Amino acid sequence: MRKAENVIVGISIGDLNGIGGEIVLKTLEDVRILEFFTPVIFASVKTITFLKTHFELDINFNGINSLDQIITGKINVFNVWNDRVNINFGQEDPVIGEFAIKSLFAATKALKEDAIDVLVTAPINKHTIQSEDFKFPGHTDYLAQELGGDSLMFMICNELRVGLLTDHVPVKDIASHITPELIESKVNTVYKSLQKDFNIRRPKIAVLGINPHTGDNGVIGNEDDEIMRPTLKALNEKGKLVYGPYAADSFFGSGNYKNFDAIIASYHDQGLIPFKTLSFGNGVNYTAGLSKIRTSPDHGTAFEIAGKGEANINSFKEAVFLALKLYHNRMENAELAKNPLVTPQKKI
Ligand SMILES: NC(=O)c1ccc[n+]([C@@H]2O[C@H](COP(=O)([O-])OP(=O)(O)OC[C@H]3O[C@@H](n4cnc5c(N)ncnc54)[C@H](O)[C@@H]3O)[C@@H](O)[C@H]2O)c1
Ligand SMILES: N[C@H](C(=O)O)[C@H](O)COP(=O)(O)O
């Protein structure tokens, strides 16, 4: 297995008018971090120099034009563009959105070609990134297309893990998206991720219902009784410790969430509101189910504080360290699978 400092963490720079540049550079300013990995920022030396000057940071970096020029133990900046970027903190700007996408495309290509080991993405603005080349509601769907597999938005903070059945889906379409096939596929992805990424051998999973009070026997909707319950029962009978549907309103307040290795919420805000409240700014958004590891902080571009030097870097730092932990866990599990323990046979 690679030495820690040789693990290459690719970082896409996100929306340059937001807080992305600040959280990336302030995280890397503490040089002790380079003992744990080698970073490669996908942007340009000119742009990173502008940010370094703006935030008055004491960092040095190694500008590269090719990924075989990466130097271990240095902050590497890969020149994705040569243009001068007109940064106006706090402004929604489609031109800046194009640079966010250039950075993401270059970093994803490097990930696919194994030039980087994991990808950590700084936040993008979902509106300004839309173009002919990019018609996705976020990184999760884009990476699912690029890397294959069954992608799943999996929010992680210590022992709290919240996955989503439906992620960037408009509220009016949620119920029609939730089918037995989708439930089975998402439960399986969460299950495999808990085993392979988090080393939990026999995971226990809770699924939250769709309707208020899981429908109250059909008084407030039938989906929980007709779709959720039979699908979860069938999965349970196949041997998975999966339970539910649970009424979502009291599930976190009662502390019941602590009894499970992961919780699957039916839709975005049902899962992300309790997650972001309980994780106190330290949460990480992990895209599970893919062939490669991608993490990101659990917050967005925060335009109102961008450029002011007020951004909290904790969630981004956690995203980097979670990506490293998952990378090492996957490597270890792959090693173990290559050399399974053979049970000695009795001599007769
Ligand atoms: N991973 C991602 O790319 C990602 C994640 C979430 C949201 N977004 C996008 O970001 C944009 C803005 O979204 P939003 O306003 O709903 O959420 P947001 O997370 O940007 O901001 C919500 C609130 O939290 C504050 N905040 C966020 N991060 C902070 C930090 N590190 N330090 C201090 N305060 C912080 C903001 O100032 C704001 O008050 C949207 O386009 C959204 O889609 C992207
Ligand atoms: N729902 C995510 C969050 O709130 O953290 C966010 O929009 C990012 O989504 P992608 O990872 O798909 O960009």
State the closest ligand 2 atom to the C-alpha of 272, by its place in the atom list counted from 1.
4
Question: Exposure string (b/e) for 157-169, b if CB count within 10 Å is 16 or more?
Answer: beebbbbbbbbeb
Rounded CA-CA distance 207/198 in Å is 19
Q: What is the largest CA-CA distance in the chain?
A: 79
CA of 268 to the centre of ligand 2 (A): 9
Q: pLDDT per residue over 121-165, tens digit each?
A: 999 999 999 999 899 999 999 999 999 889 999 999 998 999 999
Nearest atom, ligand 1, residue 316 CA? 31
| The predicted structure's pLDDT at residue 28 | 97
pLDDT digits over 168-181, tens only?
999 999 999 999 99
Residues of the chain with pLDDT below 70 are: 1-2, 340-348
Residue bearing tokens 């549907």: 245
Spatial strand order of the sheet with 118-121 comes to 62-64, 76-79, 38-43, 8-12, 118-121, 293-297, 284-288, 152-157, 160-164, 262-265, 204-208, 241-246
Q: How many whole angstroms from 109 Cα to the centroid of ligand 1? A: 26
Rounded distance from Cα 75 to ligand 2 centre (Å): 26
How far, in Å, CA of 145 to CA of 292, rounded?
A: 12
Residue 325 and residue 193 in contact, taking contact as beta carbons nearer than 8 Å: no
Q: With CA atoms as reference, report the closest residue to 137 among 109, 164, 107.
A: 164
pLDDT of amino acid 344? 62
Which ipTM did the prediction report? 0.98
Whether 163 and 274 have beta carbons less than 8 Å apart is answered as no
Which of 299, 314, 315, 322 to mutate for ligand 1's pocket (most ligand atoms within 8 Å of CB)?
A: 299
Interval between CA 119 and ligand 2 midpoint (Å): 15
- What share of residues in the chain are helix, strand, coil (percent, to 5)? 45, 15, 40
Query: Which domains can be identified in the chain, with CATH numbers?
Result: 1-149+290-348 (3.40.718.10), 150-283 (3.40.718.10)
Beta bridge partners of 153: 287
**Cβ(140) to ligand 2 under 6 A?**
yes
